[in-house]
Structure 1
């Protein structure tokens, strides 16, 4: 089973860096509050995690 991206919503500052690099448009920042991952679209490529300046996105893991 493919791992998905998980965003620590308590630490996310909604900068949008992850949104810009996601090849599947699986991440959005609704209401400018924090990033949300659509697990149906996420393929777990890790581009968002590498781009996140706060390093609060993990592939797999238990981050909420």
Structure 2
């Protein structure tokens, strides 16, 4: 008796959409999240700076 199981690695329903480099078109192995206009995370805000605008970089 032989039991066949579906090949999960080739399933298109579970595959992630692969994106390419916008410059050369090569498929990317890793992707990064775009945090948009979020302020830098390395700066702690002190109490006297709470009402001031934080710098952001588009």
Note whether the superposition's TM-score is higher than 0.5: no
* TM-score of the aligned structures, taking structure 1 as reference length: 0.19
> Greater Rg, structure 1 or structure 2?
2
- Kindly indicate which of the two structures has a greater share of residues assigned to helix: 1
Structure with larger RCO (C-alpha < 8 A, sep 6+)? 1
- Kindly indicate which of the two structures has a greater share of residues assigned to strand: 1
